[in-house]
Amino acid sequence: MRKCPFGPTGMRVPVIGQGTWMMERDRAASVRALRAGLDAGMTHVDTAEMYGDGAAEELVGEAIAGRRDKVFLVSKVLPRNAGYEDTLAACDRSLRRLRTDHLDLYLLHWREQPPLEPTLRAFDALMRAGKIRHFGVSNFDVGDLEEAHAIDRRIACNQVLYHLKERAIEHAVIPWCERHGLAVVAYSPYGEGNFPTGSRTLREIARARSATPRQVALAFMTRRPSVFAIPKSSDVKHVLENAGAGDLRLTDEEIARIDKAHPAGPPKALPMI
Give the structural domain span for 9.
3-197+215-249
CA distance linking residue 14 with residue 40, whole number of Å: 11
Could you write out the DSSP letters of every residue in 119-137?
HHHHHHHHHHTTSBS-EEE
CA distance linking residue 89 with residue 81, whole number of Å: 8
Known catalytic residues? 51
Is 63 within the bounds of a domain? yes
pTM beyond 0.85: the answer is yes
Is 267 within the bounds of a domain? no
Kindly list the distances between the CA atom of residue 169 and the CA atoms of 12, 176, 186, 229, 242, in Å, as whole numbers in the listed order.
Answer: 22, 10, 10, 14, 22
Is 94 within the bounds of a domain? yes
Is 264 within the bounds of a domain? no
Q: What is the pLDDT of residue 11?
A: 38
Is pLDDT above 50 for 116?
yes
Q: Note the pLDDT tens digit of each residue in 137-190.
A: 999 999 999 999 999 999 999 999 999 999 999 999 999 999 999 999 999 999
Q: Note the pLDDT tens digit of each residue in 16-75.
A: 688 875 455 588 889 999 999 999 999 999 999 999 999 999 999 999 999 999 999 999
Is 238 within the bounds of a domain? yes
Is 69 within the bounds of a domain? yes
Number of domains into which the chain is organized: 1
Q: Which residue has the higher pLDDT, 26 or 229?
A: 229
Is 134 within the bounds of a domain? yes
* Residue 109 binned pLDDT confidence (cut-offs 50, 70, 90): very high
* Residue 114 binned pLDDT confidence (cut-offs 50, 70, 90): confident
- Whichever domain contains 48, its CATH number is 3.20.20.100
Is 223 within the bounds of a domain? yes
Q: Note the pLDDT tens digit of each residue in 130-145.
A: 999 999 999 999 999 9
Is pLDDT above 80 for 198?
yes
Beta-sheet pairing, 11-14 with 3-6: antiparallel
